[in-house]
Structure 1
Amino acid sequence: MSVAKPNLPKGEPAIKRLNEAKCTLHDLAKFPLLPKAFYGIFSLISRAAGLSWQLARLDIALRFSRPDMVILSQGGNWDGFLYAGVLRRLGIPYALICQKATELYWPSDWMRERCKAMYADAQGAYFVSHHNHRLTEEQMGMAIPRGEVVRNPFLTAWDAPLPWPDAGDGLRLACVGRFFPMEKGQDMLLRVMALPKWRARDVRVSFFGAGDRAEGLKEMAAFLGLDNVAFPGFVRNVQGGIWAQHHALILPTRAEGLPLVVVETMLAGRVTITTDVAGSAEVCSDGETGFIAAAPTEAAIDEAMERAWAARAEWPAIAAAAAASIRTQVPRDPASTFADIVLRLVDKGAVQAPAKDYGEELVGAAE
C-alpha cells in the first residue's frame, strides 16, 4: 500500500503507524533530496507551479506502483479534481471520499466539467452525510452514480458513555474544532457569550483546537472582555482531556460534513448543542438527544443555548439518550466497515477509461 499527500505530517501517530506497517509514503509537496523549505519557496513564487509539481510527483508514483485501486480523500467535495485527472488519464480505478460539502463553496465554471467527470468515472463516491451527497449533486447539476454515506472513525470509546461530571462549579461547555471561524463559527459564539445574560450565568466555554486563527480569536475574546471563556488549545485525548470534565458540546459551525465531534460527544454521553448545518441534525434529534440551532447565526445559536439552559436539569437523561441513539447510527469500527467496501471495489476489477488530455487540467489550474 502507498500513501501520497502534500505536506505529510510525519510526526503524527497515524503516519508513524503507516511507516511501521511498511507503507510507502510520498510527500507530494517536496523536492527529492532537498530540504522541505525549497518547495515552500518555490510554491510561494508560483502557486500554479507548486501544484503542477505535486501532480507530476503523483503521476510518477502511480506509474511505478500501478495500484489496483486508489482512494482519493478530499477535504471538501470537489477539491481533488486535479488529482482525479491524473488517475483518469492513467486509467487507474479510483473511489472518492468527500469529507465536507457546503453552500459557501462552489466550483468555478472552468472546473465544472472536470469535477463532473471526476464523479462520473469514480467507482464509488463516499459522503459523510446525506446532506453532503444531496448538495454535491445540486452543485454538479447531475445525479452521482455509486454515491453512498459512510462514517468516519472516532476517538471516543464505544463500550459505554462516561460518568456524568460534577456540576458544582457550573456548567462547562466545550467548543471543539479547528480555529477557523470562517467555517467553524467561533466568532459567533464569542458574541453570544458576550451577551449580558450569559455573562451573568454560571456557564463557561472552553475552546479546544488548533489553527492559524487562534490568536485572532483570543484577542477577540479579550476585546469583548470575556472572562467566561478559555482557550486550552489542542488536546489529543478527547475522552479524558475534554469529555471527562465537560457537560456539553457547543458547535456554532457554518460548514461541515458530519462533525466527528458530534458523534464523539454523543458516544461519550454528553449533550450536543450545534447548528442545523450538513449532517448534524441527521444524527442528533432536537430536544431529544441534543439541541439544534435553526441556522448558523448568533440569534439562532443563542436561542438553542437558551433552550438548553432551561432544560439543564434534564441534561443527564438527554445525554444518556444520545449515547444510546448514536450507537444505532454508526458502526463500532467504521474503518473496518469502509475497508470491506474498498476490498469489494478491488474485487470487481473495474478499469477506468482515460480522460481527455492532461495538459488541459494544468492549463485550467494555472488560470
Structure 2
Amino acid sequence: MKSVFFLSLMNGGAWGGSEELWFRTALWMSRHDYKIGIGCYDWAEKQDRITELKNAGCAIYLLPNKKGLFKKAAVKKALQSIPFQEYNLTVINQGGWEEILHSPFSNLYKKLPAYIILNHNYNENAVLSFKKQKLLEQWITGAQMNFGATQKIFEVVQNKFNISIDNKQTLVNPVTFTPDTTPGLYPPVTNDSCTWVMLAELDTARKAQDILINALSSPKWKARNWQLHLYGKGKDKEKLEKLISELALEEKVFLKGFTTNIKQTLLDCNLLLQCTLIDAMPLSVVEAMATGRPCVVSKVGDMPAWVEDGVNGFICPALTVEGIDEAMESCWQQKNNWAVFGKNAFETFIKKYPQPYEEKIAEILSIYIN
C-alpha cells in the first residue's frame, strides 16, 4: 500500500486556505487505498476537520499549540513520536517558505525517506544568516519536488540567496466550493449601479485596502453609482473604518466582516478587486474566475499569469492611488463588456485549474512516492 504523511507547519491561525490543499488531498487519498498520516498543530477550531480525517482512516499526530518557553520542547517531543520511516513520502506544508528553518523542524529532512515541500508565500525583504541560507539550500536540493503557490516564491529565493532550484513546480490551491460547468449568471449593471468585492484579511501592509479606498475617494468616483464590499477580519478594521469616515465614503465602502458563503458573495458581485501589495496566487481570484467574474488585480505573485488586461480583467500598472485609479477608470469605461470579460475569466479558470482537483493532485504526489 502506498503511504504519505502530511506535516503542516502552519500555526499563525487555526486554519488557512493554504491548508485546504493537503487536507482535501489527504482525505481523497485515504479513501482510495493510501495509508495516510497527518501531523498538524492542535487548535480547537480544527477539530471538525481532524474528526473527518480520523473517520477517513488517517493516523493523527497533533503538535501542541503551546506558548512560551516550553513550546519548542513540547513540539519536538511530539515530532519524535511520528513514525516518518513508515511512510513512502512526507509532504511538508508551509504557510510561507521558511518555517522549515526553525527548531525543531530544521534538521528533520535528515530523517525523512523522501519528502516534498509546499510553499505558499514569499518575502522580498527577508534576511537569512549564512547558516540559514545553507540549511534552506539543503532542504530544497534534498526535496523530490518544491511546489509553490506562485513562481515568484522561487524567484525570490533564487535572487536573494543565490540558491538554484531545479526541481520546482507551481500548484494552485483548491477553491472552497464545487465549481460549476458554466459561468454564473452575470448581474445586470442597471443605471450604472454595480457591486465590487474584495476578499482579504484587513491588513493594509499586505492587502492595501487603504490605498484602494483612497483611489476611489476622488470627486469623479463619488459621483458614480457603485459599492465596494470589503470582506474579511483583521487588525486594521478600526483604521479602515476611520478612513472611510474621513473620506465621506460611508455610502460607498462597507466593511462586511467574515463570510463563509464565498460562492454566493461572488455571484452577487460584478467585479472582484485584489489590488494588493503582497500575495502569492490569491484563492479569491481563482474563485472569482470560477464563477465568471472579472478581476482587477495588481502585478503581484501569479495574478498576472491568470488575469489578462482588457480580456478577462484589469491589471494595475502600479500599486498606488494613481495606478489603481488608472486601472479602475479603464475598467469603468468598459463596463458594458464586463459580462464578456467574466466569460473569458471562466474559460481561463477551466484551462488552468486541475479537475477533479483532489484526484489530480493525488496523481502528482504519487509520482514522488518511492
Superposed pair shares fold, TM > 0.5: yes
Partners in 1 of 2:47 and 2:181 — Cα distance? 26
Flag the 1:114–1:81 CA change in 2: closer, same or farther, 3 A. same
What secondary structure sits across from 1:266 in the alignment?
helix
Whether the 8 Å contact between 1:59 and 1:86 is mirrored in structure 2 is no
For structure 2, the residue ranges without an aligned partner over 5 or more in a row are 1-35
Whether the 8 Å contact between 1:277 and 1:296 is mirrored in structure 2 is no
Q: Are 2:116 and 1:121 equivalent residues in the alignment?
A: no
Q: Are 2:97 and 1:74 equivalent residues in the alignment?
A: no
The one-letter code matched in structure 1 to 2:228 is: V
Partner of 2:188: 166
Deviation at 1:11, TM superposition (A): 4.5
Partners in 1 of 2:304 and 2:328 — Cα distance? 16
Instruction: Render the CA deviation track for 1:252-276: whole Å, top value 9, x for unaligned.
Output: 2111211111111111111100101
Partner of 1:178: 201
Instruction: Render the CA deviation track for 1:293-343: whole Å, top value 9, x for unaligned.
Output: 123222211211111111111111111111112211222233322211222
For structure 1, the residue ranges without an aligned partner over 5 or more in a row are 31-38, 350-367
Partner of 1:143: 164
Partners in 2 of 1:122 and 1:202 — Cα distance? 52
Flag the 1:104–1:274 CA change in 2: closer, same or farther, 3 A. farther
Partner of 1:233: 257
The one-letter code matched in structure 1 to 2:53 is: L
Write out aligned runs for 1:95-134 (5 A): 95-134=116-155
Deviation at 1:29, TM superposition (A): 3.0
Partners in 1 of 2:319 and 2:127 — Cα distance? 19
Write out aligned runs for 1:12-31 (5 A): 14-30=49-65
The one-letter code matched in structure 2 to 1:229 is: V
Write out aligned runs for 1:83-102 (5 A): 84-102=105-123
Whether the 8 Å contact between 2:147 and 2:171 is mirrored in structure 1 is yes
The one-letter code matched in structure 2 to 1:20 is: N
Flag the 1:307–1:106 CA change in 2: closer, same or farther, 3 A. farther
Flag the 1:54–1:213 CA change in 2: closer, same or farther, 3 A. farther
Structure with the larger RCO, 1 or 2 (CA within 8 Å, 6+ apart): 1
Deviation at 1:22, TM superposition (A): 3.2
Q: TM-score, normalised by structure 2?
A: 0.82
Deviation at 1:86, TM superposition (A): 4.0
Whether the 8 Å contact between 1:273 and 1:293 is mirrored in structure 2 is yes
Whether the 8 Å contact between 2:90 and 2:112 is mirrored in structure 1 is no
Partners in 1 of 2:123 and 2:319 — Cα distance? 12
Whether the 8 Å contact between 1:75 and 1:98 is mirrored in structure 2 is yes
Partners in 2 of 1:78 and 1:335 — Cα distance? 26
Q: Are 2:25 and 1:5 equivalent residues in the alignment?
A: no
Q: Are 2:317 and 1:294 equivalent residues in the alignment?
A: yes
Q: Are 2:356 and 1:333 equivalent residues in the alignment?
A: yes
What secondary structure sits across from 1:115 in the alignment?
helix
Deviation at 1:108, TM superposition (A): 4.7
Whether the 8 Å contact between 2:89 and 2:115 is mirrored in structure 1 is yes
Whether the 8 Å contact between 1:102 and 1:256 is mirrored in structure 2 is no
Q: CA RMSD in A?
A: 2.3
What secondary structure sits across from 1:96 in the alignment?
strand
Whether the 8 Å contact between 1:77 and 1:98 is mirrored in structure 2 is yes
